[in-house]
A and B are shown apart, each in its own frame.
Chain A
Amino acid sequence: MIEVVDLVKHFRAADGSAVRAVDGLSFTVAPGEMVGLLGGNGAGKTTTMRILATLLRPGSGTARIAGYDVGRDPLSVRRRLGYLSATTGIPDRLTPRELLHSCGRLHGLDRSAAAGRAERLIEDLALGDYADRPCGRLSSGQRQRVSLGRALVHDPPVLVLDEPTSALDVMGSRDLLDLLAGLRAGGRAILLSTHRLHEIEHRCDRFLIVHAGRIVDQGTRDALVAGRPGGLEQAFFAALEAGVGP
């Protein structure tokens, strides 16, 4: 459902030099699979996700969502992709109901279909208590739920979620990850990034550890931590050290 092959992306730095943000990434995420994309700041996670979300064009290599190339057919990709940015970016003056309705309209749903979809998401994501309160008055956790609703408004089969739990407390994180588990069980392919490894250690099917735009290790949690005490976090540091080289 997500297929990435030899993906490369450069940015031009302020001094004119080229910065290789993504350096030959290849991976897949199958339907019904949740994959964690792990890495430090500047590792290339957000750039990779933004390429998948058609916000950035790949420099070279290919990325496909549900069989559609992100560079050649971005419209088809956008119809099948739910994207959650690390910045919540919710308009303060709109209520969750209005926001979900607007997003439905942006996806081309007619008025009644957009309203119906908004109602469904309000119910599924338990937004009912604050569905008619301006988003500016919601807590971080509530805003993140609304943001997830925005990503799901067109019922996409693929989800790309950039640090979905970053603004949440422990309870909020658990609730959100439970929600994602439900979406995965429904057959969605989910790629998510986070810095909070302990939260997703036992939630994701596989992990990709990236450093300087490259995958330095990947596999299931058990395969990554095999023979190492300290769980995923130790495996992560070991992979980074090996990736950096001597």
Chain B
Amino acid sequence: MSAVTGIAAVARFQLRRLVTPQRLTLGLVGAAFPAALVLAVRRIEPEIDRNVLVALIYALIPEAVCMLGLLVSMCPAVADELERGTWPHVVVRPRGRRSLLVGTFIAAVAWTAGIAMVALALALAAAGLGGSPGLAAMFAALIILSCLGRAALFALPAVIVPKRALVASVGVAVVVEYLAGFLPAVVNQLTVSLRLRSMLVDWMAWRRVLPAEFRLIIDDRPPWMQIAALLLLAATLLVVATLILERRQFPPSAES
């Protein structure tokens, strides 16, 4: 019970840090960007195919918006505490380190998913797809899964190199998600992007119409298996990050 109350206390506190007028304004500006881009594309190409719009929204929201939101909210999990001098006061509590990481994870997922949902509503309206509840539900699921997977992925740089977490996370995103994720090899099984892409292809019934070369970067297993694999990957990453954080020691000079 004490572990849950500690995690809840940190999550509530981190959400208060994230829900400030400045951060909300920044988030909403970011949320409006995909809709603006969709509008611009439709203006140039009024008869654009529905599937192209769906692919564009996928690239912009579950991928780009979620990634950027998590870079802002998850990467500073440890660095913020060190810089603000609150690190000793959190970790001196029983299970304080675990509560800090998991609580920040929950807050980062909630905040980013919230911003991404707003972006989704705006983008679907801009694309003229607002009347498709099935499409909205599919994207909502992809957003939540993207946030869970990527927040867990960014937890590793946050605990291993706290003061360089943002740069390291961008590197991880590029190398792991967008290089390894597109390699037609076993390594892409360990990426969030493969799972999300495969679910999108399945839920949109694109598998049959997909060119052969694209099938190499899609997993054939059914969506429930993609979800299970993604959740397992996220849980594993989070457990590893927690174990690393439990062992981390920062000399007093690391706080500034």
Tell me whether A55 and B86 are in contact (CB under 8 A). no
Tell me whether B9 and A106 are in contact (CB under 8 A). yes
Sort chain A's interface into a size bin.
20 to 34
Tell me whether B8 and A78 are in contact (CB under 8 A). no
Interface residues of B in 79-115 (CB under 8 A from A): 84-96, 99
Tell me whether A55 and B255 are in contact (CB under 8 A). no
* B10: chain A residues within 8 A (beta carbon): 106
Tell me whether A55 and B9 are in contact (CB under 8 A). no
> Which of A11, A54, A81 contacts B251 (CB under 8 A)?
A11
Tell me whether B9 and A79 are in contact (CB under 8 A). no
Q: Once A and B bind, how many residue pairs between them come within 8 Å at the CB atom?
A: 87
CB distance from B64 to the nearest CB of A (A): 29
Report how many residues on chain B are interfacial, defined by Cβ distance under 8 Å. 32
> What does the 1/0 interface line of A26-50 toward B look like (CB < 8 Å)?
0000000000000000000011001
Tell me whether B13 and A55 are in contact (CB under 8 A). no
| Bound-complex Cα distance A113 to B9 (A) | 14
> What does the 1/0 interface line of A124-155 toward B look like (CB < 8 Å)?
00000000000000000000000100100000
Tell me whether B93 and A81 are in contact (CB under 8 A). no
Tell me whether A83 and B6 are in contact (CB under 8 A). no
- Given A47-B252, A91-B13, also A108-B89 (CB < 8 A): no
Tell me whether A50 and B252 are in contact (CB under 8 A). yes
CB within 8 Å of B: which residues of A? 11, 21, 46-47, 50, 53-57, 75, 78-79, 81, 83, 85-91, 93-94, 102-103, 105-110, 147, 150
CB within 8 Å of A: which residues of B? 1-3, 5-6, 8-10, 12-13, 16-17, 20, 84-96, 99, 249-252, 255
